[in-house]
């Protein structure tokens, strides 16, 4: 059982939950935990949530959860759960969609919406280990208010340690916006990848159409499929 130690709003529909774990095991950035809820009548439901924190946060993890209107777990976490509550979790789980500084780079991260979460674990791990591996993040959001971790990403980029963050806003952009303003396409991928050379390590996470489109686009512009790892979720999210 994990104990909720803190709850933080990330966007109007997304919150992060810091969980204290009595039997904590360091995770690999990109792994996830299963969260199980059980009702008084015995009915239970389980969902998987990517770990947002790096493995350097001793004794605790952070899960970032988007509220899914017709979901069974995320509405409970958003509307009912409070600091001090205990919830059943299992993890860390997964070994394919992971990156650690020892794996090297250069690193190209591509996220859509809440697909940023496992990539944020990688970025936080990179910062915590003082890695200077060239890293570019391309993050697609609908509007400025939907950018998860906006301030932290800006602060991490300002460290000038080789991390660059590029945003594309697909539905609305603020006045004076100089970033991308369309869905991810081959031309955008070519521009973003170019400074990293021909063989970056690539991690893509988000809705299935974005993930498949970006992965296929990268192959079309010459990135080896063996260098690309993907994680996707359907309309209901995780």
Q: pLDDT tens, 123-156?
A: 999 999 999 999 999 999 999 999 999 999 999 9
Query: How high is the pLDDT of residue 39?
Result: 84
Residue ranges of the chain assigned to CATH 3.40.50.80? 101-233
What residues form DSSP beta bridges with 138? 110, 166
pLDDT (mean) for 198-211: 96
Query: How high is the pLDDT of residue 233?
Result: 78
pTM of the model as a whole = 0.95
Rounded Cα distance between 64 and 207, Å, is: 16
Which pLDDT band, with edges at 50, 70 and 90, does 229 fall under? Answer: very high
Question: What are the pLDDT digits (tens) for 68-99?
Answer: 988 889 999 999 999 999 999 999 999 999 99
Residue 174 tokens, joined: 């603020």
Residue ranges of the chain assigned to CATH 2.40.30.10? 2-93
Rounded Cα distance between 157 and 134, Å, is: 12
Distances (CA, A) of 167 to 135, 154, 155, 226: 14, 11, 15, 25
The CATH class for the domain spanning 2-93 reads mainly beta
Burial letters 3-36, b for 16+ CB under 10 A, else e: ebeebeebbebbbbbbbebeebeebbbbbbbebe
pLDDT at 2 over 50: yes
Q: Are 204 and 231 in contact (CB under 8 A)?
A: yes
Which pLDDT band, with edges at 50, 70 and 90, does 212 fall under? Answer: very high
| Architecture category of domain 101-233 in CATH | 3-Layer(aba) Sandwich (3.40)
């Amino acid at each position: 059982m994990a104990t909720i130690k803190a709850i933080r709003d990330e966007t109007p529909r997304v919150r992060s939950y810091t969980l204290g774990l009595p039997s904590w095991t360091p995770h690999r950035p990109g792994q996830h935990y299963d969260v199980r809820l059980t009702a008084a009548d015995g009915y239970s439901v389980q969902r998987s949530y990517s770990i947002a924190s790096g493995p350097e946060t001793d004794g605790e993890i952070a899960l970032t959860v988007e509220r899914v209107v017709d979901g069974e777990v995320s509405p409970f976490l958003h509307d009912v759960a409070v600091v001090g509550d205990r919830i059943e979790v299992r993890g860390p789980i997964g070994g394919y969609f992971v990156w650690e500084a020892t794996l090297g780079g250069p690193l190209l991260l591509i996220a859509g919406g809440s697909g940023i979460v496992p990539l944020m674990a990688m970025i936080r791990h990179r910062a915590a280990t003082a890695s200077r591996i060239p890293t570019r993040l391309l993050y697609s959001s609908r509007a400025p208010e939907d950018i998860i971790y906006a301030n932290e990403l800006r602060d991490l980029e300002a460290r000038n340690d080789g991390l660059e963050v590029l945003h594309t806003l697909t539905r609305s952009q603020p006045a004076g916006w100089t970033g991308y303003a369309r869905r991810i396409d081959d031309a955008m991928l070519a521009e973003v990848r170019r400074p990293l050379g021909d063989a970056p390590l690539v991690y893509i996470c988000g809705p299935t159409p974005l993930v498949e489109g970006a992965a296929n686009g990268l192959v079309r512009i010459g990135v080896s499929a063996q260098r690309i790892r993907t994680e996707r979720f359907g309309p209901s999210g995780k």
